[in-house]
């Protein structure tokens, strides 16, 4: 039996840091894609233990942060309807839309409930046959199987009062968008272990080859991250553009094929808007036509939405590794976790909230 403590061992961490200092001879910019990894890096101060020539930038891997403003506004409209019970993970309630958030809609009388599993939303639908129950199905590849499990369960139970508002996004198209941008600074990637536990990493070698970036799959504990960084820098220094796996206790190249089959059964690829970044072709999933009855976007037909983003928020640039949170003029002053202007300050995985929590010395005064 292996325990988490083993992956936080200070002596092993010191050895890895020493090796990183030894191997890192040039300046490199490495992006961790996942917001969970961003928080772990900042919480354990790993960025400050690296040599000064290694810069970590923080990618668009926080699902709450990248859910488009249009979908947040649709959620506000649907949740505000009288016969609806709107269910969501807790973080989404505080994400600002064009005019307020789900908390505000709830304060105005809407029935909005926090759930810890999409299946809880199905149970609510079973218990409330006269209401339409909607689950806000956000997330990357990791959440697709549990979100779809709710659709499968509702289908099995023959429910006609359950639907999901889908905001599923995928990592590889986002990597293409970042690497293909004229503003790109990223030279190496740390790929998110939980995403790869579902999808494997078979999609990554063509990206590494096309853009000449090494990609290392890694986890969330300090030793996972340090080993991932070490492998990535080693490849950068050797001019090697491969994919390595520093999280082999969880991830295989093929991933969870049963989960991938489930995704293929219910979802098809679609273009998606990423908040602050814009439209990324084929970067999302939506329900296939035969499951339209479970698609809240279709069932509620919210139509075209005119969105209004905060003019100050630079979250889009942060999520592409172009800027850091403390470069935002609102960071820590106009924008705080209590009064967030952008989603990256709300989420437990957002880069701005991580900097606010762990790097408060950078707060503007």
Joined together, the tokens standing for residue 7 give 């992956």
Which of 203, 243, 331, 347: binder of ligand SF4 (CB under 6 A)?
Answer: 331
Residue 345 found at the interface with ligand SF4 (CB under 6 A): yes
> Please, what is the Cα angle at 279 between 313 and 258, to 5 degrees?
110
Determine the Cα–Cα distance for residues 202 and 38; give it in Å rounded to an integer: 24
Taking the least distance from each CB to ligand SF4, the nearer of 40 and 341 is 341
Q: How far is CA 56 from the centre of its chain?
A: 17
To ligand SF4, the closest distance from the beta carbon of 274 in angstroms equals 14
The token pair at 310 is 């905060």
State which residue, 77 or 363, has the beta carbon closest to ligand SF4: 363
Q: Which of 167, 231, 273, 344 binds ligand SF4 (CB under 6 A)?
A: 344
> b/e for 126-157, b at 16 or more Cβ within 10 A?
eeeeebbbbbbbbbbbbbbbebbbbbbbbeee
φ, ψ of residue 152 to 5 degrees: the values are -60, -40
Nearer to ligand SF4, 28 or 355 (CB): 355
The yes or no reply on residue 172 touching ligand SF4 (CB under 6 A) is: no
CA distance 330 to 27: 29
Binder of ligand SF4 out of 35, 60, 97, 342 (CB under 6 A): 342
**φ, ψ for residue 310, nearest 5 deg:** -60, 135
By CB under 6 A, residue 255 contacts ligand SF4 = no
**Binding-residue pattern over the window 299 to 318 for ligand SF4, x denoting contact by CB under 6 A:** -------------xxxx--x
With both helix axes pointing from N to C terminus, report the angle between 222-238 and 35-43 in degrees, rounded to the nearest 10.
Answer: 100
Q: Are 343 and 64 in contact (CB under 8 A)?
A: yes
> Smallest gap, in angstroms, from Cβ of residue 209 to ligand SF4?
33
Min dist. Cβ of residue 348 to ligand SF4 (A): 14
Q: Toward ligand SF4, which CB reaches closer, 255 or 350? A: 350
What mask, x for binding ligand SF4 by CB under 6 A, covers residues 256 to 295?
----------------------------------------
- Residue among 360, 365, 359 at smallest CA distance from 48: 359
Question: Which segment (8-16, 39-47, 155-163, 339-347) binds ligand SF4 by CB under 6 A?
Answer: 339-347
C-alpha 93: how far from chain center: 16
Residue 207 CB-density burial (10 A; 0-12 exposed, 13-18 middle, 19+ buried) = buried
Pick the closest to residue 340 from 101, 129, 152 (CA basis).
101
| Contact flag: residue 42 with ligand SF4 (CB under 6 A) | no
Nearer to ligand SF4, 65 or 208 (CB): 65
Binding span for ligand SF4 by CB under 6 A among 13-21, 104-112, 283-291, 333-341: 333-341
Using the rule CB under 6 A, give the single segment among 104-112, 184-192, 233-241, 344-352 that binds ligand SF4: 344-352
Name the residues that contact ligand SF4, by CB under 6 A. 312-315, 318, 325, 328, 330-331, 335, 340-342, 344-345, 352
């Amino acid at each position: 039996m292996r325990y988490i403590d083993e992956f936080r061992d200070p002596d092993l961490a010191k050895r890895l840091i020493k090796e990183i200092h030894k191997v890192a001879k040039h300046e490199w910019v490495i992006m961790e894609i996942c917001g969970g990894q961003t928080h772990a890096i900042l919480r354990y101060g790993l960025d400050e233990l690296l040599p000064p020539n290694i810069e970590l930038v923080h990618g668009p891997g926080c699902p709450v942060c990248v859910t488009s403003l249009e979908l947040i506004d649709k959620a506000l409209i649907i949740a505000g309807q009288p016969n609806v019970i709107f269910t969501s993970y807790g973080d989404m309630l505080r994400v600002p839309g064009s005019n307020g958030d789900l908390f505000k809609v709830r304060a105005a009388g809407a029935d909005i409930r926090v759930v810890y599993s999409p299946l809880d939303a199905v149970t609510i639908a079973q218990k409330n046959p006269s209401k339409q129950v909607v689950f806000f199905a956000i997330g990357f590849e990791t959440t697709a199987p549990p979100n779809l499990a709710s659709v499968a369960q509702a289908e099995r139970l023959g429910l006609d009062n359950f639907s999901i508002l889908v905001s599923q996004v995928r990592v590889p198209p986002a990597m293409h968008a970042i690497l293909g941008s004229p503003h790109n600074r990223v030279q190496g990637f740390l790929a998110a272990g939980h995403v790869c536990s579902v999808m494997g990493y078979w999609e990554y070698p063509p990206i590494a080859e096309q853009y000449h970036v090494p990609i290392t799959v890694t986890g969330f504990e300090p030793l996972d991250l340090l080993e991932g960084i070490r492998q990535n820098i080693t490849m950068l220094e050797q001019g090697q553009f491969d994919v390595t796996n520093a999280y082999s206790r969880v991830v295989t190249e093929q991933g969870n094929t049963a989960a991938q089959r489930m995704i293929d059964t219910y979802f098809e690829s679609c273009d998606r808007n990423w908040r602050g970044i814009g439209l990324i072709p084929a970067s999302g999933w939506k329900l296939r036509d035969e499951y339209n009855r479970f698609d809240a976007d279709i069932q509620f037909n919210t139509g075209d939405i005119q969105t209004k983003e905060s003019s100050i928020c630079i979250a889009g640039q942060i999520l592409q590794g172009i800027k850091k949170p403390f470069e935002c003029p609102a960071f820590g002053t106009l924008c705080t976790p209590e009064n967030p202007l952008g989603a990256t300050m709300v989420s437990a995985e957002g880069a701005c909230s991580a900097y606010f929590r762990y790097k408060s010395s950078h707060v503007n005064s």
